[in-house]
Amino acid sequence: MKNPVVPSWTESTRNLFKPVIVLVITFAATVKLSQSLYRYNLRRRSRARSGTMSSSSSSDNGTGVQARRRSRILSSKLYFDIPNSKVPLIYSSAYDITFLGIEKLHPFDSSKWGRICGFLLVDNVVDKNCIVEPLEASKNDLLVVHSEAYLNCLKKSANVAMIIEVPPVAVFPNCLVQQKVLYPFRNQVGGTILAAKLAKERGWAINVGGGFHHCSGEKGGGFCAYADISLCIHFAFDRLNISRVMIIDLDAHQGNGHETDFANDSRVYILDMYNPGIYPFDYEARRYIDQKVEVVSGTTTNEYLRKLDESLEVSVHSFDPELIVYNAGTDILDGDPLGRLKISPDGITNRDEKVFRFARKRNIPIVMLTSGGYMKSSARVIADSITNLSNKCLIDTGKNMTAT
């Protein structure tokens, strides 16, 4: 098993230093010491493992790992029965991140998820009582994909600060970081995992959150601390009797996390449509993309949608999935500071409609995750897109349902 890797800063970090430069310089020595100790401990643990586990590594990395993973999945409480009065729209107020205003130092709108649901409620697209609230993913759930060493690295605030790209977080007690940052993420992970069960039962599910596609089992980064997509798929394998999953990743950034986790895994087909000129520049992970579609900076709506149509048509003849995980990032919007593409709000609506039509026409259960999007307007755009899916009868948001 590879050692966990502490993530490096990405492009958005450069924009953060101006307002926090004094604080960062003050605590730079502390952060550097924490990183050095972390790397030292990793090397020491690695040497210890190589000396004590070499004789049993082959069997332990095979059936033993699979048995432990399956046992954790089967004992998880994240799958639970949902009454028919609920619709497969998943959200909890615990998703939203508020951290003494520090969250505003990152371009990501950390209240986006609540604002999406707020728009849907005001627009009478869904009733509040019909929304499904997930459970928080436990440590045992996270160990299905993540190593103990990686989860332990999240107990150091400096490591979390680098993952979420907000330097001042490094100086706060980790108990506060767990409560204000990682707890919301773990709730979103629970939502993504539950979404697959709902999709299998109802044909579709939308987690108004999740899509942490830069995180793999051993490494976080790019505002992604937990590998919810990989976890969702492994749960589906063992609990839903699913053996073939297609990931359609249409976030502007390459989904290097799930690509790393499912490298050379024939059960998972990855269609990734991304801007190659922006983070994460993970050329190793690109080798594991089954269908790579690159859209360069400045790509406009018509060109983007044309490439999407072509890509979906190719995938029909390449793979026959039993579940689609759709990573529907809105950082492709024109004006997004990190995505650098020029897709209109209507283009987002058309994109989501195309993917849902693709799945629904073939009776393939589909899970949608909201993923990246670094403008305040993203929440409104996502809500409008979900409304369109409802109006086109591609999803049933239960406007005429009454809770039991």
Could you list the active site residues? 214
| Interatomic CA distance for residues 25 and 20, integer angstroms | 9
What values do phi and psi take at 352, rounded to 5?
-65, -40
**Secondary structure letter of residue 224 according to DSSP:** B
Tell me if residue 218 falls in helix, strand or coil.
Answer: coil
- Cβ-contact 7, 260 below 8 angstroms: no
| Interatomic CA distance for residues 139 and 155, integer angstroms | 13
| Interatomic CA distance for residues 372 and 332, integer angstroms | 9
3-state helix, strand, coil in the chain (%, to 5): 50, 10, 40
- Burial of residue 174, with CB atoms counted within 10 A of its CB: 0-12 exposed, 13-18 middle, 19 or more buried: middle
Strands 245-249 and 323-327: parallel
Strands 291-294 and 323-327: unpaired
**Secondary structure letter of residue 103 according to DSSP:** G
Task: Please name every residue paired with 205 in a beta bridge, in sequence order, or none if there are none.
Answer: 367
Which among 248, 252, 214 is positioned nearest to 341, based on CA atoms?
252
Name 315's Cβ contacts closer than 8 Å, sequence gap at least 6. Answer: 246, 248, 269, 271, 291
How far is residue 104 from each of residues 101, 141, 334, 397, measured CA to CA in Å? 6, 30, 21, 32
| Interatomic CA distance for residues 87 and 235, integer angstroms | 21
Tell me if residue 5 falls in helix, strand or coil.
Answer: strand
Alpha helices in 203-253 (DSSP H): 228-239
- Cβ-contact 399, 125 below 8 angstroms: yes
| Interatomic CA distance for residues 38 and 33, integer angstroms | 8
